Structure 1
Amino acid sequence: MNPLTTLTEESRLTLANLADAATDLAVPSVRLGVTGLARSGKTVFLTALVHNLVHGGRLPVFSAAAGHRMTGARLQPQPDDAVPRFDYEAHVRALVDDRVWPDSTRQVAELRLTIDYESASYFYRKLGPGRLHVDLIDYPGEWLLDLPLLNKDYATFSAEALQRARATNRIEIASPFLEVVGKMSPDTEENEPAAQELSAAFKSYLAGCRADTHALSMLPPGRFLMPGDLDGSPALTFAPLDFPADAGAARTGTLRSMMERRYEAYKAHVVRPFFRNHFARLDRQIVLVDVLNALNAGPDAVADLEVALSEVLGAFRPGKRSWLSSILTRRIDRILFAATKADHLHSSDHDRLEAILKRLVSRAEEKARFKGAEVDVLAMAAVRATREATVKHRGEALPAILGTPLPGERLNGDTYDGRTEIAMFPGDLPQDPESLFDKDESLHEGVRPSFQSAQADLQFLRFRPPELDTTAEGLTLSLPHIRLDRALEFLIGDRLA
C-alpha cells in the first residue's frame, strides 16, 4: 500500500481506475501530468505542445510525426466536468498575437487532445487507424510538496518548518515570522487574532523565500501562496509553533490544539482531495525545472531546489506499466525532468544544463528506476524566444543569442523597452556540475570559488516570445522550440507505435 493512502482510499482509487479503464475500451487514453515549481514554464509548455501537434509543427524526433504516421490532432471536451479547462486559446493569443508570456498556473486545469495515427506495426495497421486521447493535467508543483504532509503530524511539521526557517540561508527572511512565533505560547488560550497574526507572518516569510532574489523551493504548505477560493478559510490560517518534541498531546482549547486542528483540516480538505482526484490517476509525468533561476540566486537556491525535487519525486507513485496495474493500482511509469529556458543559453551549453539537472535529481531518480519507472532528463525550451549568432568582441568570435528583452530588463546599465532586439553572450555553465554542489567548509558560508566564478560569468535576461513567420499563403507557422519533440517522444511516443 502507498504510504500516502489508507486501505479505504486505495479501494476508492481502484474503483476510479476501473471506471477509467472501462471508458478506455473504445479509445485508449493516457493521463499526462504537467508540473513544475514557480515560473518554470508549465503554461507555456502545454500551450506549445498542443499548438505544435494541432498545427503540424516541426517535430523531427517525435517518431509518429516524423514518419508521417500522425494523421491529425484536435482538441475535444475533457472527461472531467468538475475540473477547470486549460485556457489554450487565450494562451496562444498571448504568445502569438501579443508576444507576452501567459499567466502562471494557479490551479488544476485539464485539456483533452485526441491524436489520430497509423501504427508502425504491420499487424495493427491492418486493424485500421489508431486513436489516442491525451489528457493533459496542469497543476502547480508547490502542491506536490504538500503530499508528504499526509504522513506527518502537526508536531513534525512544526519542527521541520522552524528548522528550515532558522537555517543560515533563511534566518534573515524569517526573522519577522520567528519573532511572532517567539512571543506565542502554544499553551495560551486559543484566539483568532493570534492565529491570524501567526498565519500572516508565516505566509510573508514563504513569499520572501520564493522571491527571485532567493528563489528557494521548499515552501510547504503549497496552497498558502496560491489560496484560490480557500483564501481566508481556517484551513489556510495556521502556522508552526515552537514546542518540545516530547510535549505530549495538546490540551483542548489551547492555541496549539487550534493550530493542530487546522493543520489536519488542511490535509483532509486540501491535500487529500488533490491526491485522490488528480495526482493518483496520472500515467505519465513531466516536471519542469527553472535551473537557471536557481543558479542566478546562488548556491543556497540550488541546494534547496535539490531537496525540493527529491521531495517531489518521493510523492510520485512510480512503477512499471502493465495491463493489470493500470486497472487496479495506477502507477506513473515514465517521468521526465526538463530544464526549461534552454534558449537563454547558446546550444553549446545545453549539455551542461542537462548535466546539472541530472545531478539535481540523481538521488530521486534512482528510487523511481528501482520501482520500475523510466526516467529521463533533458534541456528544452517549449517556446524558443531567441536565435543563435556569432559576434566579434576584441577580435574574438563569441557564440551569442539574439532576442528582444522584456520591457524593463536591465543589462550593464541599459534598460530595454521591449522592442529592441539585442545580441548577448550569456556566459558558459561549468563543465563539471559537481562544482555547483560541493561545499568547502573552510570558506566563508561554505561557497566554493568555482560557484562564485560560474555565477559571476553568467547573465540571463527574460525575452519576449518570438514573432512568428508566415507562409506565402498567409499561414502562421507553429511556435518554435528546443527539444519539445524529444519530450513528446519520451512521454507518449510508445503509445503511438
Structure 2
Amino acid sequence: MSASPFDRLGLEARRLARRLTPEALAEEAASLLDRPLRLGVTGLARSGKTVFTTAVARALLFPDRLPFLQARADGRLIGAELRRPGDPEIPRFAYETHLARLAGSDGEMPGWPASTRMLSQLRMGLRWKPAGMVDRRIRPVRELTLDIIDYPGEWLLDLALIERSFADWSAEALAMLRQGKRAELARPFLARLETLDPAAPADDVTLAELGQGWSAHLIACRAAGLAVSRLGPGRFLVPGDLEGAPVLAFSPLPEPRGRVPSGSLYAVAAERFDQYRKRIVGRFFREHFARLDRQVVLVDLPGALSAGADAVEDLKLALTESLGAFRYGRGHGMIGRLLSGVRIDRVLFAATKADQVPAAQHARLDALMQSLVADAARAIRFEGAETRTLAIAAVKAAESVFAEHDGRNLACVRGRIAGRERPSVVYPGELPADPAEALARAAGGGFDFPPFLPPEGLVRDGHGMAHIRLDQALDHLIGDRLG
C-alpha cells in the first residue's frame, strides 16, 4: 500500500531533523556570519571620524592597548591585517597617510589628519579562536572581514532633507539667516536676493551665482563657529565629485505669490533641490548607509559646549533628524535578519575628545551625552537595536592633572597647543553633574575646552596608540562577532 501524503510528510520531517544537528546549525550560522561586517563611522564635521578610523585600524593591528576587548582579554584574538577594498569604485581610506601625520614626519611635529573630503573605505581581516566548544570543533580559527566606511560629516546633514520640500527648506533657511550672528554674515547673500524676482525666467548664470553665494555663506558660518546643521545641503560645504555640477546651482528662495511660473528661478531651483534630494542623497543612502551593520556616532561634545548652548541644541536636533533616516533593529534570529534585509543592530554614541575633559568628570560627560541623544537612542532601541554611550578619545592627546590656583586644587588638562613650544596646563571649567546645568553654563560661556595637538611619541613601532576607552567602544561594536 502506498504511503499517504501525511506519511510522506512525516518521513521528510524526520530526515530534515536528522540533518539539523547542533554542528550543522553552527556551520550554517558560521557561513551566514562570513559576509563582511560594515561599520559606519557617523558624525558631523570635526567630530573626529578620520582620527577614529585611523586609531581603530592601528589598535586592531597592534592590540596591546585593548584590555577591554573581550577576545583580546581572553587571549583568543590572533591578529588583524589590512586588505584590498571590496568595492573598487570606493577610494581606499588613506590609513598610512593619516598615521604618518599623527606620528609626525620629515621634521614636522605630529598633527591631526586632514578632514575627510570623499567617501572612503578601509577593509580589514581579523582572525580569532571561537569561545564556544562546538564552534571550536567545527572551525578552530574564525575570520571576520571588517569594512569601515568613512565619509565627510557634512554629508550627514543631507539625510534630514530626504523628506523635506524646497518650500519648507527655503522658508526655514531664510528665517535663520536673519537671526543672531548669522544676520551679519548673510548680508551679501540676502542683498543679492533682494535684486532678484523668483518668478522671473531662470538662467544658468544666475542659478550658478546663487549656488556659489549660498556655499560661501555656509562656509563663512562654519568658519565663524556657527552651526550649519539646519541649513545645508552638505555638498555645498564639501562637494566631492560634484564640484561645479548644475545640481549644486541653486539656493533657498522666497516663494512667489500666487502660481509659480514654469521655468522661473524658483521653479528651476525647486527642481534642482528635488534632484539633489532624490538622486544625490537618495542614491548615496541606498548604496552606502542602507547597507551598514554597525554604527558609531561621534559627537564633539566639548567643542559644542565651548561654542555655547545654541550649538549643543543644534547638534542635538541635527543628530535626531539625521539618524531617523537609518534602518535599525534586528530580525528574530538570523533567518529574520536575512528576510528583513540589512539593518544596523548595534549603535555606539561616543562623546569624542574626552581627553579635553579632566578624567574625574568623564562620567558627567557620558551623562550629558546620554541626555543629548536620549530621543534618538530611545527610538533606535524601540526598533530592536542595542545602544550604548561612551566618553572616548580615539587618540589621547592630553592628560589630566591637578593645579593649584588661589588656594584651590583645580582639575586641569595638559597637552600641546598650537603656537606654544611646551605643553600647557589648562583649566577648561568644571562640568556639572546635571546635564541641564551644563547647558546653562555653556550659554554663559562657562567652558573653554582647548583643541590639543597629538603628543610626540604617539606612534611607536609595534604598539597601538594611547586612547581613552577605544577598547570598550570596539567591544560594543564588534565584540559579539569575535565570540
TM-score normalised per structure 2: 0.87
Aligned ranges 1:80-229 → 2 under 5 Å: 80-98=87-105, 99-127=110-138, 128-168=140-180, 170-229=182-241
- Aligned match of 1:285: 295
> How much does 1:173 deviate?
3.1
Question: Residue 496 of structure 1 corresponds to which residue in structure 2?
Answer: 482
2:402 is the counterpart of 1:400: no
Partner of 1:420: 422
Give the drift of 1:24.
6.3
Residue 169 of structure 1, CA deviation: 5.6
SS of 1:135's equivalent in the other structure is strand
Overall identity of the aligned pairs, in %:
44
What displacement does 1:59 show? 1.0
**Structure 2: which 5+ runs fail to align?**
1-27
Q: Is 1:379 the equivalent of 2:391?
A: yes
Distance change >3 Å, CA 119–CA 157, structure 1 → 2: same
Query: Hey, what's the Cα distance between the residues in 2 that align with 1:392 and 1:117?
Result: 48
CA distance in 2 between partners of 1:134 and 1:423 (Å): 39
For residues 148-168 of structure 1, what are the alpha-carbon distances to aligned partners after superposition, in whole Å with 9 as ceiling and x for unaligned?
Answer: 323223223222322333344
| Contiguous gaps of at least 5 residues in structure 1 | 1-20, 408-415, 438-447
Equivalent in 481, 484, 490 of residue 467 of structure 2:
481
Amino acid paired to 1:108: L
Secondary structure at 1:428's aligned position in 2?
coil
Letter matched to residue 427 of structure 2: F
Contact residue 209 and residue 249 of structure 2 kept, 8 A: no
Of residues 337-346 and 327-336 in structure 1, the stretch that sits farther from structure 2 once superposed is 327-336
**Is 1:356 matched with 2:342?**
no
One-letter amino acid of the counterpart of residue 424, structure 2: I
Q: 1:269/1:22 Cα in 2 relative to 1: closer, same or farther (>3 Å)?
A: farther
Tell me how far apart the structure 2 counterparts of residues 484 and 260 of structure 1 sit (CA, whole Å): 44
Q: Deviations over 1:237-287 (max 9, x none)?
A: 11111016x845x32221112212222222243212211211111011111
**Over residues 220-240 of structure 1, what are the superposed CA-to-partner deviations in whole Å (9 max), with x where a residue is unaligned?**
211110012211111011111
Alignment counterpart, residue 377 of structure 2, candidates 365, 370, 388: 365
Q: Does the CA-based 8 Å contact 2:41-2:296 persist in structure 1?
A: yes
* 1:295 pairs with one of 281, 301, 305: 305
1:433 matched to 2:435? The reply is yes
Counterpart residue type for residue 478 of structure 1: G
What CA deviation, in whole Å up to 9, does each residue of 1:131-162 have, x standing for no partner?
11111000123222212323223223222322
CA distance in 2, matches of 1:215, 1:162: 15
Q: Which has the larger radius of gyration?
A: 2
- Map of 1:461 onto structure 2: 450
Q: How far apart in 2 are the matches of 1:436 and 1:189?
A: 51
Letter in 1 for 2:111: V
Task: Give the secondary structure class of the aligned counterpart of 1:266.
Answer: helix
Structure 2 contact 154–238 (Cα < 8 Å) conserved: no
CA pair 376-62 structure 1, distance change in 2 beyond 3 A = same
How far does the alpha carbon of each residue in 1:357-410 deviate from its partner, in whole angstroms, 9 at most, with x for none?
211111111111111111211111000011233333344333332211123xxx
Distance 2:92 2:458 in 1: 29
Matched residues in 2 for 1:493 and 1:82: separation? 29
Which secondary structure state, in structure 1, belongs to the residue aligned with residue 58 of structure 2?
helix
Kindly provide the amino acid, as one letter, of the partner of residue 70 in structure 1: L
Alignment coverage as a number of residue pairs: 449
Correspondence 1:313 to 2:323: yes
Asked if the contact 1:335–1:374 (Cα under 8 Å) also holds between the matched residues in 2, the reply is: yes
Q: Which moved more, 1:275-284 or 1:197-206?
A: 197-206
C-alpha contact 1:217 1:301 (8 A) present in aligned 2: no
3-state DSSP class of the match of 1:146? Answer: helix
Alpha-carbon distance change, 131 to 422 in structure 1, aligned in 2, over 3 angstroms: same
CA separation of 1:76 and 1:397: change in aligned 2, threshold 3 A: same
Root-mean-square deviation (Å): 2.3
Return the alpha-carbon distance in structure 1 between the equivalents of residues 315 and 158 of structure 2.
Answer: 15
Q: Secondary structure at the match of 1:151?
A: coil
Kindly provide the CA deviation profile for residues 87-108 of structure 1, in whole angstroms up to 9, marking residues without a partner as x.
1011111112341111111111
Q: Is this contact kept in 2: 1:286–1:338, CA < 8 A?
A: yes
Match for 2:451: what amino acid?
A: R
Sort the Cα spacing of 1:71 and 1:470 in 2 relative to 1 into closer, same or farther, 3 A: same
Letter of the 1:284 counterpart = R
